[in-house]
């Protein structure tokens, strides 16, 4: 690996994202703050790049490059390093794992990228143990090999379900179990989640995994499992009387409850008819 640590300026037009980059560059409040900093002070920390046939590929600094583009900069400071694709993949993952906010999907694809790179480097037997990272004090803060494999299982989820994991609507452990469902079964499940307005518990996810392995996870089976009551998820919904008054002539508790339940039943029947007509 060649690295003379010479900082030079490169045009943003010459830079391209790392192919298969697992971390999302989001235009959120943190990015807005970074853009303002770049406008005022420039890019303070050089990007790490490697030469490729079409220019230079970013190894570290995708967010800084994006902020520089939003700040209308023409060039950014970089350090050019000679790295193979696999060496760059490992460096990219390691440079981001210490970030404060990492989505489960980002960690999943990052671990997968690094594991595959280490495996191609002939480190297949010890790869999982090296996928975790160490702090600056060399204290191991990485995940265990088993936990890394569980994260990598998330890459088998269809995008719609993986998005629910990132949003915190599906917990990590049930998500791992759901990753063993076929893509077709996962799509059926996603449709049922939207219909039932509920996500699977761990026991429900395990039940679906078992049925899937037996080839018995039909749409009806998914609907039946999702209809099961979750004792630990009993919640009350409070609706202010003022919100109901424009719909109900009588807002006494008993009459309001009866009306709401009847309305829910009517709406559920309406949705079922829509499903039958598709």
Q: Is residue 92 part of a domain?
A: no
Q: What pLDDT is stored for residue 233 in this prediction?
A: 52
Are 222 and 249 in the same domain? no
Residue 105: pLDDT over 50: yes
d(CA 12, CA 230): 52
pTM of the prediction? 0.68
The closest alpha carbon to 63, from 74, 54, 71, 51, belongs to: 71
Q: Is residue 89 part of a domain?
A: no
Are 34 and 79 in the same domain? yes
Are 2 and 53 in the same domain? yes
Q: Is residue 88 part of a domain?
A: no
Are 167 and 228 in the same domain? yes
Are 124 and 166 in the same domain? no
Are 34 and 74 in the same domain? yes
Computed over every residue of the chain, the mean pLDDT equals 83
Q: Is residue 90 part of a domain?
A: no
Report, as an integer, the average pLDDT of 251-268: 73
Residue 229: pLDDT over 80: no
Report, as an integer, the average pLDDT of 181-195: 94
Q: Is residue 11 part of a domain?
A: yes
Largest CA distance in the chain: 79
Q: Is residue 97 part of a domain?
A: no
Q: How confident is the model at residue 125 (pLDDT cuts 50, 70, 90)?
A: very low
Q: How confident is the model at residue 167 (pLDDT cuts 50, 70, 90)?
A: very high
Higher-pLDDT residue of 138 and 102 is 102
Are 167 and 138 in the same domain? no
Q: Is residue 204 part of a domain?
A: yes
Are 9 and 73 in the same domain? yes
Q: What pLDDT is stored for residue 237 in this prediction?
A: 60
Report, as an integer, the average pLDDT of 236-240: 62
Report, as an integer, the average pLDDT of 225-231: 78
Are 225 and 161 in the same domain? yes
36-86 pLDDT, tens digit per residue, is 999 999 999 999 999 998 889 999 899 999 999 999 999 999 999 999 889
Are 161 and 151 in the same domain? no
Report, as an integer, the average pLDDT of 223-244: 68
Quick one: tokens of 177?
Answer: 């179990």
Range of the domain at 257: 241-277
- CB distance 106 to 73 below 8 Å: no
Report, as an integer, the average pLDDT of 17-28: 86
Are 197 and 129 in the same domain? no
Total of domains in the chain: 4
Are 2 and 72 in the same domain? yes
Q: Is residue 132 part of a domain?
A: yes
Report, as an integer, the average pLDDT of 244-255: 66
């Amino acid at each position: 690996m060649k690295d003379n640590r010479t900082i030079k300026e490169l045009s943003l037009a010459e830079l391209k994202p790392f192919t298969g980059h697992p971390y999302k560059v989001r235009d959120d409040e943190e990015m807005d703050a970074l853009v303002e900093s770049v406008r005022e002070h420039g890019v303070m920390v050089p990007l790490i790049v490697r030469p490729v046939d079409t220019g230079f590929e970013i190894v570290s600094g995708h967010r800084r490059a994006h902020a520089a583009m939003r700040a209308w900069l023409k060039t950014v400071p970089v350090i050019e390093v000679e790295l193979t694709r696999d060496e760059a993949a490992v460096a990219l993952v390691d440079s981001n794992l210490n970030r404060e906010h990492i989505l489960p999907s980002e960690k999943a694809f990052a671990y997968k990228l690094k594991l595959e790179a280490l495996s191609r480097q002939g480190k297949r037997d010890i790869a999982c143990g090296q996928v975790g990272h160490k702090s600056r004090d060399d204290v191991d803060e990485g995940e265990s090999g088993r936990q890394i494999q569980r994260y990598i299982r998330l890459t088998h989820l269809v995008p719609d379900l993986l998005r629910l994991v990132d949003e915190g609507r599906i917990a990590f452990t049930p998500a791992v179990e759901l990753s063993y469902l076929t893509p077709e079964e996962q799509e059926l499940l996603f449709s049922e989640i939207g219909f039932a307005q509920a996500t699977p518990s761990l026991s429900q996810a395990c039940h679906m995994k078992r049925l899937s392995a037996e080839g018995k996870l039909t749409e009806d089976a998914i609907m039946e499992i999702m209809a099961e009551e979750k004792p630990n998820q009993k919640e009350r919904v409070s609706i202010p009387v003022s919100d109901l008054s424009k719909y109900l002539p009588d807002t006494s508790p008993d009459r309001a409850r009866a009306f709401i339940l009847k309305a829910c039943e009517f709406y559920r029947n309406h949705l079922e008819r829509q499903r039958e007509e598709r």
